[in-house]
Amino acid sequence: MAIAPPRSKTLEDLRFANSFAGLGDAFSERRTPAGIPCARLVAFSPEAAALIDLRAGEQMRPEFAALVSGNALLHGMEPVAALYGGHQFGVWAGQLGDGRAILLGEVDQTEPYELQIKGGGMTAFSRFADGRAVVRSTVREYLASEALHHLGIPTTRALAMAAGEEPVLRERVERAATLIRMAPSFVRFGSFEIFHYRNRHAELKTLADYVIDRFYPECGTSDDRYERFFATVVERTAALMAQWQAVGFAHGVMNTDNFSILGLTLDYGPYGFVEEYDPGFICNHTDESGRYAFDRQPTIGLWNCYALAEALSSLIPRAQLDAALAGYQDVYRTTFLSLMRAKLGILDVRDDDADLALELFGLLHARRVDWTNFWRALSRADADALAMLGEDATSRTWFERYAERRAGDPRGEEHRHAAMRAVNPKYVLRNWVAQEAIEACEAGNDSVVAAVYDVLRAPYDEHPEREAWAQPAPARYRDLSVSCSS
């Protein structure tokens, strides 16, 4: 394993540009964050800091807390709030935009990262909202984005969060908090949609050229670059949906304004990880129709790609758009089955592998088996997993078929199980664990957030002192629900 170079930059050493702001006022509005008073630094991700070569210990400086809480900027930052639109729950919502997020700038390096503050106050796109985030939503995004990264899923990153005493009214009075999150870009499907529906095709082309030049240079500069770009976005989106499904992650609000043009998991709100396996699991109690239920995520991913295709129709002929969209299902299926084979500890490929997986899913659903714990048990021994599934004839028949399927594996049981444990996590961010961290943080105790983060950055390890966090919700959290304000 390559050893990462030591982080060597102080806050003053960081150099910022803002290429997105350079696109002009048609794409964003200039906005200085409104800091939260009396803020404290709650959490810090050293792995995210390594992406910008930030020196160890810089997070201890008061200047860092001032940055994270929105009370100070670093030299060279040009903060802006971005314009975009979006389809929300399948309906065109018109203009949306960064209502509580402000792009501070991008760290100018070989692989630049944009730094964005969430919860930094009102912008021109806040509509009737206050532009603030609260401890509850901020802890959830900080932990979830770092958790998905360590599960190997493309995502925005969270550098640090701060919390203060400013009251913020949601369903109840809560306390303001801020998050510095990072990504190469926060451009989303809705960034293109807003210009399409306003018939502003020149701006749409400018945005497409910007994204291709910076993030999809392999698409080239010829006239077909737009269709190459769109086809790659479709492929990345399909692969992302497969990764969500394999780990049991439900996003909760798969609106087109929440879909990254880079294929990253973006905007953590009422997400949840499947516990008792239910393909119709709805993690967002605001989603009364179940549009974004767990088993509908792959279909919604494709629906969103169709929405992006419509937005790009002034640049790409319909036949090429349709050809790219036609590739979605194959990428999704191929990626998902590859992930399932790894979870099952199967090396080779057979045509009936989908049937083997689907039969297992049916058993897990019928028996209400915990998704994460079943796969972890299967990574130890068939007997452990069979005990979870129920030792009846139907379960035994499936295990006999499974044993036959993996027969001839040259690795041996010990090595096969070790490989399975490397892809079947013991720990995911269960909502009840996030809630435990939230309640402690709201009471002024940030140690639980840190402890949860430490577990989630090594989700395949055992962590015997945190065994409870690998279990379903205890009684007092069993009725916990999350919504679009989470």
Positions marked active-site: 257
Measured in Å, how far apart are the chain's first and last C-alpha atoms? 38
Question: Residues 131, 136, 140, 143: is their CA dihedral positive or negative?
Answer: positive
Q: Compute the CA torsion angle 409, 413, 417, 418 (nearest 10 deg).
A: -100
CB 119 within 8 A of CB 246: no
**How many Cβ atoms sit within 10 Å of the Cβ of residue 321?**
23
Angle CA(359)–CA(360)–CA(366) in degrees, nearest 5? 95
Contacts of 161 by beta carbon, 8 Å cutoff, 6+ apart: 41, 42, 43, 68, 138, 139, 142, 177, 178, 179, 180
**How many Cβ atoms sit within 10 Å of the Cβ of residue 388?**
17
Distance CA 187, CA 402 (A): 43
Distance CA 68, CA 40 (A): 9
**Whole-angstrom Cα Rg for the chain:** 23
Residues forming a β-bridge with 103? 80, 116
Q: Assign residue 174 a region: left if phi > 0, alpha if psi is -120 to 50, beta otherwise? A: beta
Q: Assign residue 476 a region: left if phi > 0, alpha if psi is -120 to 50, beta otherwise? A: alpha
Tokens of 421: 């444990």
Distance CA 274, CA 372 (A): 8
Tokens of 197: 């529906």
Considering only CA atoms, which of 200, 32, 27 is closest in space to residue 97? 27
**How many Cβ atoms sit within 10 Å of the Cβ of residue 16?**
18
Q: What is the DSSP string of 183-194?
A: ES---BHHHHHH
Contacts of 351 by beta carbon, 8 Å cutoff, 6+ apart: none
Residues forming a β-bridge with 160? 44, 180
Distance CA 138, CA 463 (A): 25
